[in-house]
A and B are shown apart, each in its own frame.
Chain A
Amino acid sequence: MGYRQRVACEKIFYQQYSYFIREGCRRFRLSYEDSFSAYSDAVLSAIHNIVSGRFADNASLKTYLFRVFSNKCIDLVRNHSINKQQVNRSVAPPELLDALPDTAKNAVEAMMHRYNEQAILDSLEAVGEKCREVLLYFEDGYSDKEIAERLAYSSAAVAKTTRHRCLEKMRQIMHTAKP
């Protein structure tokens, strides 16, 4: 499927079930903005799981998406209540860390206080359009080969090296911006 086709299909998929947003407000007592953001996140996760073949065909697409959306809403509710209880802990652990076993996850989470989440977001803004583009393609599930084709890199290896250089550049921006 071409890039344009994929974007068009994503848009149709997104709009097809956008009434879930109101359901999120009703069932989980979320604000419209929170439910809206949970829905966008859920659609993206569902698309990634479908593309990577992780979507088992034992439920309808609607049921599957609603399940993903419900989990996102529950996470939001949980994060809100954690933030209320622990005022100092402003950083919710990234979902990525769920892949680690508990001991390793705890050790990594303990290091998260060293970084300011807003500074990381700022570094992504400051890293430059080209870097941002390559990083976002990867985050959207594109392989290095596909990224190389889209952005006219000579090979997948070059795309990969560029990505890692961009991550390092973000780290350096954060380091220099540190007061």
Chain B
Amino acid sequence: MNEPFEYIEDYFENRLGTAEKSRFEARCVEDEAFAAQVALYALQRKALRAALVQQKTAAWTEPAHPAVQERAHPATVRPLEPRYPTPPRRLKPRPWLAWAVAASLLLGAAGWWLFRGPASPHQLASAYIDKTYARLSQTMDGSTDSLQQGIAAYNRQEYDKALDLFEGLYKAHPERTDALRYEGIVYLRRKNYDKALETFSELAHTNGLLSNPGLFLQAVTLLRRDAPGDKERAKSMLNMVVQQQLDGAGEAATWLKRF
């Protein structure tokens, strides 16, 4: 049985002549038993290689002889040997690195500022609500009707009180559509989007008004809510606002470019 091992080894150690090498290779293909013997030899060599790597690694990473260690570390406390070798630390001072990092950060910030993408319709709607309806304007004539009281409550962020006042006024005087609009705005601020949409829809369907922002406010609410399908509905409403030149047509035209 030694002969095949020797023959196989001769091939892999490149000790065979060209003709014999070709015969060996052909035999691997034609003789299954021989191919199995070659496979076993290769796997044995693989196992030997793994064992050798393990043995060498143990020798290469073993701590120095105690006498050598004592010379290297004369202090009483000797550092523990790591299980694996630790890479040498190379902490050279690199002032150019700090400048390079600073320059990259500046370039990055400038690039972001110059090439940042346009705000989405949702962002535009949110910004519009925050800017326009953070505070409602009051008349300066000192009147104290329900509408003005409601606006004052709104500006103090007493939304429940404001809502009661606007609802009461609109029920008592259905012609006061401004109360209905403010009611919708309160719902919008409180993120009660369904009620806001209901209120603005009622406003949009009110006939005979000189100015009616109902449809535009419905679109604003949909963009702010940003639920599936809201964007498409808002887009079609904004188109109608622009086509019919309703209240908010200017903003609607700008926003439509961002879709």
A residues apposed to B, CB below 8 Å: 7, 10-11, 14-15, 18-19, 21-22, 32, 36-37, 40-41, 43-44, 91, 93-97, 99-101, 103-104, 107-112, 114-115, 117, 120-121, 123-124, 132, 135-136, 138-140, 160-161, 164-165, 167-168, 170-171
Contacts and interface: CB of A to CB of B under 8 A. Distances in A.
Contacts of A21: 84-85, 87
Interface of B: 1-2, 5-6, 9, 11-12, 24-26, 28-29, 32, 35-36, 38-53, 55-57, 59-61, 84-88
Contact of B39 (A19, A114, A165, A168): A114
Contacts of B45: 94, 96, 139
Given A10-B56, A37-B53, A101-B25, A168 B5 contact: yes
Given A120-B47, A139-B45, A40 B28 contact: no
Contacts of A135: 48
Contacts of A99: 11-12
Nearest to A10: B60
Contact of A96 (B12, B32, B50, B56): B12
A164 B5 contact: yes
A10 B52 CA distance: 13
B35, B39, B41, B53 — which one has the most chain A CB atoms within 10 A of its CB? B39
A112 B35 CA distance: 9
A171 to B, nearest CB: 6
Given A18-B85, A18-B87, A32-B84, A167 B60 contact: no
B51 to A, nearest CB: 6
Contact of B48 (A40, A101, A107, A139): A139
A117 B36 CA distance: 14
Contacts of A117: 43, 46-47
Nearest to A174: B40
Q: Is the interface of B mostly helix, strand, loop or mixed?
A: helix
Contacts of B9: 164
A110 B35 contact: yes
A44 B52 contact: yes
B55 A40 contact: no
Given A18-B87, A19-B88, A96-B12, A108 B56 contact: no
Given A41-B53, A136-B48, A167-B5, A108 B84 contact: no
B38 to A, nearest CB: 5
B219 to A, nearest CB: 49
A115 B59 CA distance: 30
A15 B158 CA distance: 73
A93 B43 CA distance: 8
A176 B36 CA distance: 18
Nearest to A114: B36
B78 to A, nearest CB: 18
Contacts of A108: 28, 35, 38-39, 42
Contacts of B86: 18
B37 to A, nearest CB: 8
Contact of B56 (A44, A103, A160): A44
